[in-house]
Amino acid sequence: MNRTIMHVDMNAFFASVEQQANPDLRGKPIAVVGSSHRTVITTSSYEARAFGVKTGMAPWEAKRCCPQLIFVIGDNRKYCHTSSRIMEMMQAYTPEVEVFSIDEAFMDVTGSLTHLYDTPERISYLLKARIRHAFGITCSVGIAPNKLLAKLASDMQKPDGLTVIRSEDIARVMETLPIKDLCGIGRKMERHLNMMSIYTCGELGRCDEARLTRKFGIIGRRLKEMGQGLDTSPVVPHGEDDEVKSVGHSMTLTRDISAREDILRYLLQLSEMVGRRARRYGVSGRTVSLYVRYADFFSSFGKQETLKGYISMSGDIYKAAVAILDSVELEQPVRLLGVKLSGLKHHSEQLALFPDERRQNELVRSMDIINDRFGEFTVTFGSMLKSRDKGSRVISPSWRPSGIRSVEVR
DNA sequence: TCTGGGGTCCTAGGACCC
DNA sequence: TCTGGGGTCCTAGGACCC
């Protein structure tokens, strides 16, 4: 069965949204960053990339590449909003839209090729025009018989590209393609394959399957198929009922800390962020994980604990996180802390048995509503307020769950 | 002046039960 | 007084993606 799959990749998405929102930024080298001094570049405009500015760079490093670089503090809400509007536009062409990330989606347009949209190229032109019109954002589109190749194709021309890989082109394209260009082959896998003298997809596709499975186990077979440009995975449109597997937040602290009370304050904040999002999703979980990265950056550990029952209240998450903390001996000052809730299930909306419990639930719910409306930590627990009153910089009300502060550009 | 934050999936090994 | 094997649950950690 021949399929026609499109992969759509927004170009410099966050930076483009910012340039659209603020005309002064258009045509200029800009970089979207977080608010902490320990932030990195999350996206840069093409003007900035021309100077060598790259995602993941520290701001000072980027400034060295491009002295006139303009930093913009990111606003995730804005990006989420624009993203979902764009994904909605895609639905006009096919219901088979798989949201792959905030700025990428797959579309299976096999069933959409009628007299109205006779070719995938036509759909691509129309979609690109709509997105550019509504949001001033360009995107790169890849069209191919499967997801693996569509994703590969969209990467071939940027920005504003359109690349088609036809069945008859596959062998030629794969022959010299470096293996790391495939989605699914990362740095480590590349190194391993290189050590087997495999550098191109052509070589990977011709490799003896047994040799690959000996080295990589079950995925050996999959690797060979990838080398041949084969992929049967379907485009999976996910809906509202799509289950999340885990909810977690972590943050690099503004300074490394050792004092238990400092760590506890962060854990409370993280637990609150995790709990709030879990409740918004309508899930509770029974496994709580704590993640710690030490001051040297390279050493870290994670520890998890599975509880008897399911929880979603911030206080319960916090309690579990503290219990884990108390079960370990920290070896260094702490650079990053993370709290995660997993083993999730949708919780049925049962009424709490005791009035006290019910009141507590209602209090939490109204807090969630206020926070949703006015931003994180407008209303919060007493101990957090205390630390803010003291002028502590530890708990800043400007934090967002993403660690990115919402700041209006002009 | 160092290096963010959100996930998913897989594997290996231990505990425990039958 | 010791034995095999299967299954499930749990934890730790790694690889990969954006």
pLDDT in the model for residue A374: 53
Determine the nucleotide nearest to A327 by Cα–C1' distance.
Answer: C11
Nearest one of A204, A248, A246 to A229, comparing CA atoms = A204
> What is the Cα–Cα distance from A396 to A295, expressed in whole angstroms?
21
Q: A235 CA to C17 C1', in Å?
A: 16
> What is the Cα–Cα distance from A200 to A209, expressed in whole angstroms?
16
Q: A309 CA to C1 C1', in Å?
A: 39
Protein-covered nucleotides of chain B (CB closer than 7 Å) are: 1-12
Compute mean pLDDT per 10 residues along chain A, 410 residues long, and list them. Answer: 95 96 96 91 95 93 95 93 95 94 96 89 97 97 98 97 98 97 95 96 96 91 96 86 88 95 97 96 96 95 96 97 96 96 82 65 67 54 41 26 25
The fold for domain A1-165 equals Alpha-Beta Plaits (3.30.70)
pLDDT in the model for residue A367: 65
CATH superfamily of A170-227: 5' to 3' exonuclease, C-terminal subdomain (1.10.150.20)
Which residues from 279-318 of A have any strand B atom under 7 Å from their CB? Answer: 297-298
Mark whether A104 is an active-site residue: yes
pLDDT in the model for residue A407: 24
pLDDT in the model for residue A116: 80
Indicate the domain borders of chain A. 1-165, 170-227, 246-387
Determine the nucleotide nearest to A155 by Cα–C1' distance.
Answer: C18
pLDDT in the model for residue A74: 93
The fold for domain A246-387 equals Dna Ligase; domain 1 (3.30.1490)
pLDDT in the model for residue A98: 94
Would you say the C-beta of A374 is within 7 Å of strand B?
A: no
pLDDT in the model for residue A347: 77
